[in-house]
Amino acid sequence: MHIVAAPDKFRGTATAVQIADAVVLAAEQAGASADAVPLADGGEGTLEVLGGANRTTTVTGPLGDPVEAPWRLQRHIAVVEMARASGLALVGGAEANDPLGATTYGTGELIEAAVERGARRVLVGVGGSATTDGGLGALRALYPTQRLKGVELAVACDVRTRFTDAATVFGPQKGAGPAQVELLRRRLERLSQVYAETYGVAVDDIEGSGAAGGLAGGLACVGAELGNGFELLAEEVDLYGRIEGADLVVTGEGALDATSFQGKVVGGVGEMAAAAGVPVLTVVGRVDGATTSACGELISLSDRFGAELAMADTARLVGQAVLDHLAS
């Protein structure tokens, strides 16, 4: 029996790599072979699942303080995770954030560093931001943008939100109150007009342009291609090719809800496995709302082991759930 372990992270408790490794160990204990393919949707964890950092650059953090931002460069392909340069976690969360002043300048500096070191393709994961600046900070850091000529920019978006909707949808998560959300919304509306006049790009017409507070839309103005994060990463790791011929695919995430089937890892893996005719086992921390047949067999760690233990010992319990499934 051959198993493909293709999970997302369990946010706050275990990384995708840790979960995939736990599934592989369980498979081996059951006498099966296994292939670890940890995944992400363009948000936090993108860098790790594509090989991890092998470079570090000091850049401007979201509130202006210097931060050490890890990134990856291999064979002229760079992987940059904006959360490492302009992320909400860097400022201590929403309560410590300045939602009006937070900038993506450091993400632009990180892309610049990758280009200066010879990257011809830069994959930018854009989840987990502290910012709603429409990517203006990043574009200022990249000025003059002629330096990007001949460089392929690919933005892995973890949402489908449009540019001017970013403030309303995500502003509160970044610490913005109602008045600040309205101010940020008006800023993005004005910025979309500026981008149209300066670059000839109607950012609000592009699905996903509101990702990372509009960073995705700003990068689209200088030629970046925006794509579904899961699909981009699945292509990078040849997920479908690795699923073909498998006997079982194991996927999972921390909380399964309706968004899990809107371009996220669990839904994407389920659809890909179904297309290949391979059964799916989905192991999650908890289930919030309805599920679909794309889950295959579904195991909730909270239901099986209790919520407290599921949070405290996530990776081991995922492995135990897989072992129990294989023994049944």
User: Any idea where the domains of the chain sit in the sequence?
Assistant: 2-39+238-327, 46-230
Can you give the pLDDT at residue 290? Answer: 67
Can you give the pLDDT at residue 295? Answer: 82
Under-70 pLDDT residues of the chain: 290
Give 66-71 contacts, CB < 8 A, sequence gap 24+. Answer: 67/106, 69/106, 69/110, 71/47, 71/110, 71/113, 71/114
Distance CA 320, CA 58 (A): 41
Q: Which CATH superfamily is domain 46-230 in?
A: Glycerate kinase, domain 2 (3.90.1510.10)
Can you give the pLDDT at residue 221? Answer: 97
Can you give the pLDDT at residue 281? Answer: 97
Of the candidates 267, 288, 220, which has an alpha carbon nearest to the alpha carbon of residue 7?
267
Can you give the pLDDT at residue 35? Answer: 97
Say if residues 276 and 244 touch (Cβ distance below 8 Å).
yes
CA distances from 281 to 224, 249, 271, 285 (A): 35, 6, 13, 13
- Name the β-bridge partners of 287: 256
Rg of the chain over all Cα atoms, to the nearest angstrom = 20
Say if residues 154 and 127 touch (Cβ distance below 8 Å).
no
CA 4 to chain centre: 20
pTM above 0.75, yes or no: yes
Give 304-309 contacts, CB < 8 A, sequence gap 24+. Answer: none
Tokens standing for 22? 């736990």
Return the amino acid letter for 327. A
Q: Which CATH superfamily is domain 2-39+238-327 in?
A: Glycerate kinase; domain 1 (3.40.50.10350)
